[in-house]
């Protein structure tokens, strides 16, 4: 028997590849299925089943393409109602793969169809659980995502999740290995550990959610501090439940080269948003006017989903050389299937064609220290938790994920400085502000991490809730 965790860091997502004898199973596959097909061919095994723990909100699963290419059936837990052919398993139903068995444990709460898969090895020993978003390392799945699909409140769902954990997970042996669907960085939980595999006994001892004295306490603690989920989550659920275009089709459409001479006209004709995926260091020196920068080398897909919101919005890409396919793949993982083309030759081709170029004013932390005065306005786009831990005295906290709300209140007649933790998010914010005609600002390279090294700024570790811009 072989269990392989296929972890994708930019989504903090774990898929699982399981082999016994000449048969295999895959749990929660990602959108691009070629790596799985390559593994199956290399191991000379047949994919027998595709298991889905639930209808995912934070990414589009590869279940449909994988089933189409292999003939393997898709399995969901009880109460799931996909709009395509699938096996809807009963609670405690067992599926055999080679000499091992996978038992379905219906564990509703995160969503009502959520299920955990219990692996029983060749010797009949309960060995591992694949928990999806029911149980994470250090946390449990947030119970507020399925509200719109049911008449249940988040408190109702949290209570159901408590019952699932107590009746299905906690009675299992401490030695069982826990394989969750996500790790630290995912928006599907709030307190996840950086580790991606653990034993159940350790989680019973250390996971705050498993150590609540009663259901009421569990509900209170699990719901405390939850922020609003990214707006694209609902659209990803709909795609996972209702179906989507094959990634092959999405890739064919997206890999359409557009010359620098035709690029602006093509953008206007298609209504496309120009998405520049180069690094902040490159983007600020020159970019196509009104383009938005979300660098591929960062939390790219989650930020695209958070800020662009509509997965059906057409996109035109500006990428580093030969990165078009990678960018389209990552966009497809969160349901953005409407890439209509990319700038042929990249930004260098745009410059050589003599097209109009815009810039973002960026300075180093040392230059910021030299220019800073007590009257200066500073906008910190980090999360509230980061800002609360430490920030520049009198800085305004305006998190990037709410920029569509706070950007409207910016007075462009008054200069301000803009920073995040390291420069990635602040350049995203800078590009969005710039596209809205807000230009009287200076972005700080290296962000708060660099600013602190100058040792010239008084900082504080409390939040002034009444401070408004």
The pLDDT, as a whole number, for residue 191 is: 83
Alpha-carbon radius of gyration of the chain: 24
**pLDDT, mean of residues 106-133:** 97
The dihedral built from the CA positions of residue 267, 270, 271 and 273, taken in this order, carries a sign that is: negative
- Neighbour tally for 115: CB within 10 Å: 30
Domain ranges, ordered by start, for the chain? 2-235, 245-352, 362-460
The pLDDT, as a whole number, for residue 357 is: 97
Residue 412 CA to residue 437 CA, distance in Å, equals 8
Same fold, 2-235 and 245-352: no
- Among 216-220, 229-233, 296-300, name the one with the lowest average pLDDT: 229-233
**CA dist list (Å): 106 to 80, 87, 283, 408:** 11, 14, 48, 46
Class at the top of the CATH hierarchy for domain 362-460: alpha beta
Q: Smallest Cα–Cα separation from 452: which of 415, 429, 419, 416?
A: 419
- Among 71-85, 227-241, 264-278, 452-466, name the one with the lowest average pLDDT: 452-466
- Among 28-37, 83-92, 302-311, name the one with the lowest average pLDDT: 302-311
User: Is the separation of the CB atoms in 317 and 244 below 8 Å?
Assistant: no
pLDDT single digits (tens) 366-419: 999 999 988 999 999 999 989 999 999 989 999 999 999 999 999 999 999 999
- Nearest 5°: the CA angle 120, 123, 128 is 30
Look at residue 465 and tell me whether its pLDDT is greater than 50: no
The pLDDT, as a whole number, for residue 463 is: 52
What is the residue-averaged pLDDT of the chain? 94
Look at residue 455 and tell me whether its pLDDT is greater than 80: no
Look at residue 364 and tell me whether its pLDDT is greater than 70: yes
Backbone torsions φ then ψ of 349, nearest 5 degrees: -65, -35
Return the SS3 of 102.
Answer: strand
CATH architecture, domain 245-352: 3-Layer(aba) Sandwich (3.40)
User: Is the separation of the CB atoms in 397 and 425 below 8 Å?
Assistant: no
**pLDDT, mean of residues 120-124:** 97
Considering only residues 468 and 264, tell me which one the structure prediction assigns the higher pLDDT. 264
The pLDDT, as a whole number, for residue 227 is: 83
The pLDDT, as a whole number, for residue 462 is: 58
- Among 97-111, 227-241, 266-280, name the one with the lowest average pLDDT: 227-241
**pLDDT, mean of residues 94-105:** 98
User: Is the separation of the CB atoms in 134 and 116 below 8 Å?
Assistant: yes
- Fold category of 2-235 in CATH: Metallo-beta-lactamase; Chain A (3.60.15)
Look at residue 148 and tell me whether its pLDDT is greater than 80: no
Name residue 14's beta-bridge partners.
Answer: 7
Buried residues in 270-303 as b, exposed as e (16+ CB within 10 A): eebbbbbbbbbeebbeebbeebbbbbbebbbbbb
Provide the whole-model pTM.
0.90
Residue 227 CA to residue 38 CA, distance in Å, equals 39
Instruction: Place 464 in a pLDDT band, splitting at 50, 70 and 90.
Output: very low
Backbone torsions φ then ψ of 372, nearest 5 degrees: -70, 140
pLDDT single digits (tens) 41-51: 999 999 999 99
Instruction: Place 468 in a pLDDT band, splitting at 50, 70 and 90.
Output: low
Q: For residue 363, what is the enclosing H or E element?
A: strand 362-363
- Among 74-78, 83-87, 300-304, name the one with the lowest average pLDDT: 300-304
């Amino acid at each position: 028997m072989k269990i392989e965790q296929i972890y994708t860091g930019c989504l903090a997502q774990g898929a699982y590849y399981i082999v016994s004898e000449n048969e295999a199973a895959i749990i929660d596959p990602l959108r691009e299925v070629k790596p799985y097909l390559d593994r199956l061919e290399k191991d000379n095994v047949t994919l027998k089943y595709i298991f889905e723990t639930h209808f995912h909100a934070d990414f589009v699963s590869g279940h449909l393409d994988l089933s189409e290419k292999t003939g393997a059936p898709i399995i969901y837990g009880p109460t799931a109602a996909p709009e395509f052919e699938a096996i809807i398993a009963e609670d405690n139903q067992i599926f055999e793969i080679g000499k091992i068995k996978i038992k379905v444990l219906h564990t509703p709460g995160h969503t009502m169809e959520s299920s955990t898969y219990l692996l029983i090895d060749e010797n009949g020993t309960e060995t591992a659980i694949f928990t999806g978003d029911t149980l994470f390392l250090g946390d449990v799945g947030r119970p507020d995502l399925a509200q719109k699909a049911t008449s249940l409140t988040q408190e109702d769902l949290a209570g159901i999740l408590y019952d699932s954990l107590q009746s299905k997970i906690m009675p299992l042996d401490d030695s069982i290995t826990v394989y969750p669907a996500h790790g630290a960085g995912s928006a599907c939980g709030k307190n996840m550990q950086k580790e991606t595999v653990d034993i159940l006994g350790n989680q019973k001892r250390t996971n705050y959610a498993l150590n609540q004295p009663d259901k009421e306490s569990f509900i209170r603690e699990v719901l405390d501090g939850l922020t609003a989920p990214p707006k694209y989550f609902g659209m990803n659920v709909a795609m996972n439940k209702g179906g989507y275009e094959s990634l092959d089709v999405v890739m064919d459409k997206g890999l359409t080269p557009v010359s620098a001479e035709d690029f602006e006209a093509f953008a206007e004709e298609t209504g496309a948003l120009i998405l520049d995926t180069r690094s902040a260091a490159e983007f600020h020196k020159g970019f196509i006017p009104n383009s938005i920068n979300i660098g591929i080398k960062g939390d790219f897909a989650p930020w695209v989903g958070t800020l662009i919101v509509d997965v059906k919005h057409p996109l035109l890409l500006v990428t580093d050389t030969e990165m078009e396919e990678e960018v389209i793949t990552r966009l497809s993982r969160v349901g953005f299937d409407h890439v209509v083309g990319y700038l042929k030759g990249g930004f260098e081709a745009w410059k050589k064609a003599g097209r109009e170029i815009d810039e973002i004013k960026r300075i180093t932390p040392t230059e910021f220290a030299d220019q800073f005065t007590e009257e200066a306005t500073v906008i910190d786009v980090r999360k509230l938790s980061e800002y609360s831990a430490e920030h520049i005295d009198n800085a305004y906290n305006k998190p990037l994920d709410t920029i569509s709300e706070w950007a409207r209140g910016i007075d462009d007649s008054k200069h301000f400085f803009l920073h995040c933790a390291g420069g990635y998010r602040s350049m995203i914010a800078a590009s969005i502000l710039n596209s809205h005609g807000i230009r009287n600002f200076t972005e700080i390279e290296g962000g708060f991490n660099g600013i602190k090294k100058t040792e010239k700024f008084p900082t504080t570790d409390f939040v002034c809730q009444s401070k408004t811009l």
